[in-house]
Amino acid sequence: MKAKISVTGGKGGTGKSTIAVNLATLIARERKLVLADLDVEAPNDHVLLNASLENEEPVEIMLPFIVYPKCTRCGVCAQVCDTGAIILTREKLPFVIPRLCSGCRACYYACPYDAIVEGKRIIGYTYKTQVKIDDTVFTLVTGVLREGEEHTPPVVLAARKRAMSLAEDLLLVDTSAGTANHVSIALEDSKLVLAVTEPTPLGLHDLELILELSSTLGLESWVIVNRSTIGDISKVEEVAQKYNARIVAKIPYSREIVESYVKGVPIVELYPNHPISQSLQALAKTVLEVI
């Protein structure tokens, strides 16, 4: 892999995925690209691209099994488990609650009587899809957390690893929203972070958090303002300035974007001459110049 670019954004529909799939389409015309959808709790790049999830691989984590004949009911395993995944019954027998277990192995190492053996549990899947839009081809890697699961990082890591192993040239990552631990994992080692925001109070708040995180990680950030016409853009400029991030694109609200969702075709492909497509083309060009 030669370089990694990340698209990230605040909570709830800032248009992060739209930017990601459109940039992917444009960049893939020039360079070999892998797009990684690491928004594993709600991946939707494949929906926007009308692509199916293929080549499934399970993501497994360790699940402790108690060998009851060996267990002395000392309770050490429950003490060391900080997710609360082990409960002791009235008879002091340990009982594992799989859904809460993060697979950290602390109990396995701590048990003084070797009464815990390693099992496995599937918490999600990764997928690899060849996306073809006209003559443009790129690989989409998607991570999906199983419904009801709470431990996101292992799935993000597995999808990231799969994407990196496939990326010979460029890797474009679509992270999940917010600034949780697993977002940092997704952002790590990026040459460039594209922070997508909206000119609303909530959007501004999230933008600050993201720019803060990205500067903590020592990454260069650019800001993209989506639905730029719905609010006061000068506030976004202030925040961007504070973190030395430049605003590289302003995407106005438009009906054609909605149409591109419905059709599952990126707007740059559907309406190449639309003002939004033109701003995205300019953005892709700038990104490619930097990389």
Partner 1 sequence: MVKIAFASMNGGGLEDVIADRFGRAPVFTIVELDEQGNILNVKVIENPGASASSGAGVKSVQALVNEGVDIAVGPNFGPNAQVILEEMNIKAVRIPAGTKIADALEKVKKEVLGL
Q: Are 213 and 245 in contact (CB under 8 A)?
A: no
Q: Is 76 in the site for ligand SF4 (CB under 6 A)?
A: yes
Q: Report the C-alpha gap between 79 and 107 in whole angstroms.
A: 9
Residue 194 to residues 54, 209, 219, Cα–Cα distance (Å): 27, 14, 10
Closest distance of CB 166 from ligand SF4, Å: 30
Count of chain residues binding partner 1 (CB under 8 A) = 14
Closest distance of CB 151 from partner 1, Å: 10
For the beta carbon of residue 109, count every other beta carbon within 10 angstroms.
Answer: 10
Q: Report the C-alpha gap between 210 and 207 in whole angstroms.
A: 5
Q: Is 147 in the site for partner 1 (CB under 8 A)?
A: no
Q: Which does 90 bind (CB under 5 to 8 A by kind): ligand SF4, partner 1, none?
A: partner 1
Q: Is 134 in the site for partner 1 (CB under 8 A)?
A: no
List the one residue out of 56, 149, 38, 36 whose CA is nearest residue 103. Answer: 149
Out of 27, 85, 107, 111, point to the residue binding partner 1 (CB under 8 A).
Answer: 85
Q: Is 287 in the site for ligand SF4 (CB under 6 A)?
A: no
Closest distance of CB 75 from partner 1, Å: 10
Task: Specify the residue, 123 or 223, whose C-beta has the smaller distance to ligand SF4.
Answer: 123
Q: Which two tokens stand for residue 199?
A: 């000119």
By CB under 6 A, which span of 77-85, 183-191, 228-236, 244-252 interacts with ligand SF4?
A: 77-85
By CB under 8 A, which span of 12-20, 82-90, 162-170, 237-245 interacts with partner 1?
A: 82-90
Closest distance of CB 90 from ligand SF4, Å: 14
HSE, CB side, 13 Å, CA atoms: give it for residue 163. Answer: 31
Closest distance of CB 66 from partner 1, Å: 14
**String marking each residue 81-110 x if it binds ligand SF4 according to CB under 6 A:** x-x-xx-------x-x----xxxxxxx---
Residues in 131-190 that interact with ligand SF4 by CB under 6 A: none
Out of 100, 164, 230, 270, point to the residue binding partner 1 (CB under 8 A).
Answer: 100
Torsion of CA 29, 140, 250, 222, to 10 degrees: -100
Q: Is 196 in the site for ligand SF4 (CB under 6 A)?
A: no
HSE, CB side, 13 Å, CA atoms: give it for residue 92. Answer: 7
**3-class DSSP state for residue 227?**
coil
Phi, psi of 281 (to 5 degrees): -65, -40
Out of 12, 13, 50, 113, point to the residue binding ligand SF4 (CB under 6 A).
Answer: 113
Residue 240 to residues 151, 197, 213, 229, 243, Cα–Cα distance (Å): 32, 11, 13, 17, 5
